[in-house]
Structure 1
């Protein structure tokens, strides 16, 4: 959840009052519902800027600097790979670079209309370009290359340069597909039949394309398909590329002026901060569906990065999560429906990619993805309804060194605002802690890795389970005094050893919980160097309620930043996030993936600290942190993970590809060979056995699906080096004697001797 909204009801009413009093400013007499009605666009422009300026936590001044930022974002959004506009177009557009602020204030659509009409013209011209390019075979023996770093590339000076750019882009895409077809052909020639690997052999999507299929030697029989010539394969690949581009331009043709105006509007809203966005009517509908917690498809959240679609998160319990092959950071290159021809989605709008991936329950979608290490593989997923149950808290028990520990996983800080008796994360965590206490646990690991946040009130409830009464988080709204949210219940549900696990994707409410536990020194924070760094609160506001004239049509909604929250020590979690007490290397350690890496993010700042008392019952607190740091520093396992992370970072900067078939294949093979060095990371086992609480054992005996889900989770925990180290920290926090009889004699299980 991007918005922490329950605390905002009072402030939302204030904003409502301001806007309703001013609604006459926007009361145009619009009778038409035409999608291309410029009067509606002017109304939307005025309404959005007014609401943001009055309701945003720290609204930016709409001046020449603001104008330059909008210009840059908007042009990049229209043509991210620089394959439509010419330099002459940019020269013409640049005249408006410092005038957009004035046009916004005057409700002037001149700049938008110019860019929209020019883009439509250039797209029509581009259709002829790609069709002509794909009419003749490519010569893959020529020694040439193509750089995909579009941000640094100049715009084409003329149509000849633009055609050459299209040629190389298409040639690279075609070459990638052709390489796959040749490999399949070679395997057929050798009598190799590809079979899926077992679940034990495919771990977390870590394998390369060479490793992902399980190959067995079988004699080639007359029933086998006749092998095709290189010319036939090349022609098939070109035809496939043309089909993909035809579909892409078909999607573009389906977009209307309103769709492109939404791009313009969001280039404006994004200059206030990255989390202030406009939702067009269709997008608002999708947002409402996502907030309901019931998703249909593969169970993955996507984000756009330049010309590419990236997996930002897997929904726990969803088909992609169950399949264990797709992971955050993967880039989707192509999408196929079942056995159908894959469609290239590079350069395609995010909404269009989502439409291709979504589908009815039980249908198959095949994703061609580029892994974070540069390898490419095809992943088959059967679509399903993503059950909301898997967004709820769950816990497991593990016995280690004669002691019993509980692991609680919290995927979201969820709450039902409409039903006070409904489930929420605070009540569910309290229930799990009580259940764990009843089975005699000696320590708790609370896992909020990949937890993007949610309800702020549940953070207060959860933190309150582990401390005496006291402040948990400070809230600041524009022009108002700070407010402090307290845990006022002096009852402590768990006063024993506590570890909070975080990573780069722990955001918002997760960071507030980790910060509070850290400031009180109540538990040890272990994980990535720092958390995501989102320290702001957003409200979603339906814009239709502010206009009396219903003939305007649906205006959509605005999500805007209204508050910032702060740790009880006074520091903001914005940008800096929460630094772990114990830092563990991970695959994403060197990639830019946090709020601090997002342009125009709000700054870090500090306010006065709240009054609180540090927990004084952790006599082994500093010792546990020191011991853990020493273990990690000397572990060959973590050294290999860190080396892999550095390699992945170096690969992310490699944007130049050879368009020569032999050189391209050699480069891909080299990548795959290097990736094999890190294969042991996916094969790690910690030799610990995790099992369900008694109440859940009864449930799993009756529910086969739930049983399978828990078995998969427990299997994942038994292969998780990070959970193992969190449990080691619990050992070090103990004040009672520890039996070493259950300590595994295996050392450095990940690295080959």
Structure 2
């Protein structure tokens, strides 16, 4: 059958002008086919043009090396050992999953590997560019191979073999040669096909999706620029000092917002490069992504679409280009296809639609609530203040506005309202998911709960220690406190929680915090900018918040994977250490009661349906995370997939029943409901989550022990103990 017969099998039905139309369409189709064949031929004959370093880049390299050696907090020499580490980090950046290079390729740079340090000192960039160019050539070769496999038909792939594929190859051995890589890539393609088949996608659509993915990556590889190689090489170099020290190219430096925090104008998310993916680091409180609720930290973005348009695959794209694609006009919709953080493998994706908007200061503001509890015939009112971020309206402040908004001012006002309207017996400060913000606000907020004294120590690269203090003797609240934290509580949140813990002003409850205890500054170069770590935070008790974070007095398990999120999950993170403590008041010693408080908490959680469900979900997620490979046998894979989906539905329905809601009939019904919930940006949480309630129960335990044990001081006396010795 000809092309024309395939499209118009009933040729005899055309007459008159219809015949003319048919001939036109036939010629058009034939020309289209000819052009398509020519395009494939052109693509096959296309040659990668190696990129080369510039004089400006060489000068910038020398300046970066000097800054790192003489001004970074970490004292690190550029020597042969560093050369080897830079080489490995660079390969991890360019081929983190070890799917492009072979052992034979790596051996080509045996002579270069030990010389990278001295070359980077003097601006000799060619060795790094040679490595980059080889990787780009290998990427192009691999993608052409993948496209050829798909062109032969995915129906030719055998899914009956008892095969499996490693999910994370970052620690795997390099394949010995090209033939071994061919086998690996066939497995990768089979894995991608299976993942989409299990989602109900037909083979024609799967083939089209994969072709678009690989063709997009191939196009990016051919468009490699000198600046791409330089930025990748410099970030492998700067990353040796710590993960927060990095180089920004002139293109990235154009926008201060992107340069300093990578905050995406429009959806409110902080991103970073993660090998060939773009990874979500955290969500900006009050932003569209946070309110929408589906995008989560550690999700990896693989495609971006505008409105109803088909998403563009962004695997292998530069971070600034992904940012440009996500940003857009207010009220427009961006679609993100992501690999969820808890996905069983990298071929499992979901699509999230987010309406772009500005992050309003008032939506990040502190808010209040009250927990009413009854314990042994006694009524307790526990105030709750939720602080999404440490904010301050600096523009209004500089303009002299007496009513400018800030965390401390708002919290002081909320405390007054709680005490006046509700007569609270205790206070819970919720810092979960608070990624930090204005350092001065953390200092001032501590001051609301102590009379006077130090709040945090800052040690600089020259070992000089600066102590920030609360100079205001007034206290906004002197009663018992609980501070809630989790793994996403970072920086300023850790300073506040650590100070409250060190002063004995309250109990810290939740999970170990992020551990971000460093301070960065951005310094201009002749070509781009360098963000460099220059200082480190220490608690007033002397221990750093870096790496270790704040350890809660009472721990509550979390769904967040500590092995993937947190400072101690980052390569070359500065270690925890300690300096001398500074004199400070110890308002209360919890050592006499903490054992009993933990015991009561454990007993309560053992009976709590909410906690049992949370633990069940954590166990399910941990089991998924422990899976290091997936089967490529379709029957086995489908069985595993169905089991996972049944568990998801079971857990979701258990939560529905717990709240007196009708369970879902199917997974499709659950996903439809989740999409509807995510689309409703005006929704509010009708029921206070059980972790906040547990904070209230712990507070009631503290008050109960206070009433029944002579060694426990009353809430009024809570801030009147002698200084620690």
Measure, in 2, the Cα distance between the counterparts of 1:357 and 1:661.
Answer: 35
Alignment match of 1:132 (pick from 143, 148, 164): 148
Q: Under a length normalisation based on structure 1, what TM-score does the superposition of the two structures give? A: 0.76
- Look up the SS of the partner of 2:186 in the other structure: helix
Matches within 5 A, 1:526-675: 526-528=509-511, 530-544=512-526, 555-588=527-560, 591-616=563-588, 622=594, 624-675=597-648
What is residue 26 of structure 2 aligned with on the other side? none
What is the CA-CA distance between 1:409 and the residue it aligns to? Answer: 1.9
Alignment counterpart, residue 205 of structure 2, candidates 211, 223, 236: 236
Moved more, 305-314 or 600-609: 305-314
In 2 relative to 1, CA 624–317 (structure 1 residues): closer, same or farther, beyond 3 Å? same
- Other-structure match for 1:283: 252
CA 377–116 in structure 1, closer or farther in 2 if over 3 Å, else same:
closer
| Closer/same/farther in 2, CA of residues 513 and 57 from structure 1, 3 Å limit | same
The 1:668/1:488 distance shift into structure 2, 3 A limit, reads same
Corresponding position: 1:175 with 2:191: no
* 2:699 alignment partner, one of 715, 730, 736: 730
Q: What SS does structure 1 have at the residue aligned with 2:427?
A: strand
1:104 aligns with 2:117: no
| Alignment match, 1:515 | 498
Is the 1:86–1:158 Cα contact (8 Å) retained in structure 2?
A: yes
TM-score of the pair, normalised by structure 2? 0.79
CA contact (8 A) 2:94 2:275 kept: no
Asked if the contact 1:295–1:387 (Cα under 8 Å) also holds between the matched residues in 2, the reply is: no
Is contact 1:326–1:379 with CA below 8 Å preserved after alignment?
no
The Cα shift of 1:36 comes to 5.6
Of 444, 449, 468, the residue aligned with 2:427 is 444
* Greater C-alpha Rg: 2
Are residue 164 (structure 1) and residue 183 (structure 2) matched? yes
Q: How does 1:694-733 map to 2 (within 5 A)?
A: 712-715=683-686, 718-733=687-702
Give the root-mean-square deviation of aligned CA atoms. 3.0
2:80 maps to which residue? 64
Correspondence 1:678 to 2:694: no
Give distance in 2, aligned partners of 1:239 and 1:589.
Answer: 34
Q: Is 1:76–2:53 an aligned residue pair?
A: no
Residue 432 (structure 2) pairs with residue 413 (structure 1): no
The Cα offsets for residues 700-734 of structure 1, whole Å up to 9 and x where unpaired, read as: xxxxxxxx97x74443xx25111110111222333
In the other structure, the counterpart of 2:24 is: none
User: Is residue 478 of structure 2 the alignment partner of residue 506 of structure 1?
Assistant: no
Structure 1 residue 627, shift from structure 2 partner = 2.9
User: What is the match of residue 196 of structure 1?
Assistant: none
Structure 1 residue 372 displacement after superposition: 4.4
Alignment map for 1:22-421 (pairs within 5 Å): 38-138=54-154, 139-143=157-161, 144-182=163-201, 233-289=202-258, 295-346=264-315, 348-374=317-343, 378-389=350-361, 392-401=364-373, 402-416=379-393, 419-420=397-398, 421=400
Higher relative contact order (CA 8 A, sep 6+): 1
Aligned to 1:219: none
Unaligned runs of 5+ in 2: 1-50, 374-378, 661-679, 709-725
CA distance in 2: counterparts of 1:520 and 1:276, whole angstroms: 32
Going from structure 1 to structure 2, the CA distance change for 1:393 and 1:176 (only over 3 Å counts) comes to same
Give me the whole-angstrom Cα distance separating, in 2, the residues matched to 1:597 and 1:291.
21
- Cα pair 2:366 2:407 within 8 Å, conserved: no
Measured in 1, the distance between the counterparts of 2:143 and 2:275 equals: 21
- Paired with 1:343 and 1:659, the residues of 2 have a C-alpha distance of 27
Deviates more, 1:617-626 or 1:103-112: 617-626
Task: Give distance in 2, aligned partners of 1:129 and 1:578.
Answer: 49
Out of 439, 450, 465, the position equivalent to 1:482 is: 465
Cα pair 1:537 1:562 within 8 Å, conserved: yes
Please state whether the residue corresponding to 1:500 is helix, strand or coil. strand
Q: Summarize deviations over 1:288-337 as a string: whole Å, max 9, x none.
A: 25769984333333344445444332233333323333333434454444
Find the aligned partners of 1:641 and 1:173 in 2 and give their Cα distance: 31
Aligned partner of residue 146 in structure 1, secondary structure: strand
By how many angstroms is 1:424 displaced? 3.0
